[in-house]
Structure 1
């Protein structure tokens, strides 16, 4: 079967077996299933030839389709266990599309628990690929300079992780950021060679920390909803 390039693919990984927050990917978040925010942002950007959800779960698939995403095939058991990585999921998705006669030049991975994602930031990050970068990673600032981290021994003893920065002023420390846990873009050939999004030439797309929240626990969920409501109230007052 011949394979023809078809532009950009957005993959939203969303398995059914969340451990710490059961049914996390379809849990109600400020009025609708949390995955709906990611689907709507991707579709609203108009960037993608396909916005698909990779899942092993029938309910997740039904919710994804209801909000406009494609679920053309279900994720395999191997790519759904506790040891599977995001890269494993994306490899499987690309291979399955190619087996069906479709390939893509650009890959976006957008997490299902990204209610702060917007079409506008996806568009802005996508445009950076056109400026010569092979990949883009959404990042945000640390709350505290990571160069000032301590190592904690088993006996409670402290030592500097980076002693060379022990006496440096905060404003003199080199800028640092961390993965925002939101989205990634890459040109497919380069992503396949690196099997990841951080590669030579990669650039960071900075996001305001006020709109970033890891959601791994129920406390995280409550914090994310609080941040989301504050964000929405701010937009309404503009």
Structure 2
């Protein structure tokens, strides 16, 4: 069995009620649920939440909310992996036989079914992999970053500051959309950013953190532009 787990707690300080705030006409949470359903990858789609309103909206859009997440797993300091381990453990105790789990973040309106399908195909055909997750390339070489000091400016890496961009290794960052993994790897708390993982590299226009009102506005503009693209 393959399951999707979407963490969606009620608290959000920078954008209040972010997970169910209307985004282009729908609650934000509706998008990852609909994308997971459209992908056809999952036997069950679980929303993990401590909030009754979020739970109701999750069910309206086709996800399951088997139980309320404990308060100690819904604070500002609880990591995603701890939530996934908890939800997997609950499902396994109920007799579910789960081989793979994909954690999908709740604020991912730019996520597509094709991305989930491609990452699943990569994970399933390479037995040595524990995870496949979404990532994007840094647009500027991070080796040539600068630091502001009390006296002025200095290079972050003095050995690289004078090199041409094409002579520096490309670098990538977590896109913060999804993490496909083997159940055993999640339960063993194996690191995601390690040699047993691979990245599904996404173009910049499909990646947007949503932590501020400016982020939210930009994501809506990107989403609206993507809706205007002809089907491929």
Residue number in structure 2 paired with 1:4: none
1:184-227 deviation per Cα after TM superposition (whole angstroms, max 9, x unaligned):
11112123334442232211001110111100011110011011
Deviation of 1:131 after TM superposition, in Å, equals: 2.6
Aligned residue among 208, 219, 225 for 2:220: 225
User: Helix, strand or coil for the counterpart of 1:229?
Assistant: helix
More displaced 10-residue stretch of structure 1: 139-148 or 68-77: 139-148
Deviation of 1:79 after TM superposition, in Å, equals: 0.3
Contact 1:137-1:198 within 8 A present in 2 as well? no
> After the TM superposition, which segments of 4 or more aligned residues of structure 1 sit over 6 Å from their partners?
none
Residue number in structure 2 paired with 1:116: 110
Residue number in structure 1 paired with 2:49: 55
Aligned residue among 161, 167, 177 for 2:156: 161
Residue number in structure 1 paired with 2:147: 151
Residue number in structure 2 paired with 1:39: 33
Distance in 2, Cα, partners of 1:111 & 1:217: 16
Distance in 2, Cα, partners of 1:67 & 1:145: 41
Q: Please, which runs of 5 or more residues in structure 1 have no aligned partner?
A: 1-6
Query: Which residues of 2 match residues 121-140 of structure 1 at below 5 A?
Result: 121-132=115-126, 133-140=129-136
Distance in 1, Cα, partners of 2:209 & 2:135: 12
Deviation of 1:18 after TM superposition, in Å, equals: 0.8
Query: Which residues of 2 match residues 191-210 of structure 1 at below 5 A?
Result: 191-210=186-205
Aligned residue among 17, 20, 32 for 2:11: 17
Distance in 1, Cα, partners of 2:165 & 2:103: 34
Number of paired residues? 230
Cα separation, partners in 2 of 1:17 and 1:156, compared to 1, 3 Å: farther
Aligned residue among 55, 59, 83 for 2:77: 83
More displaced 10-residue stretch of structure 1: 213-222 or 142-151: 142-151
Cα separation, partners in 2 of 1:181 and 1:235, compared to 1, 3 Å: farther
Deviation of 1:35 after TM superposition, in Å, equals: 0.9
User: Helix, strand or coil for the counterpart of 2:175?
Assistant: strand
1:9-61 deviation per Cα after TM superposition (whole angstroms, max 9, x unaligned):
10000001111100100011111011111001101111111101000001111
Residue number in structure 2 paired with 1:96: 90
Cα separation, partners in 2 of 1:146 and 1:80, compared to 1, 3 Å: same
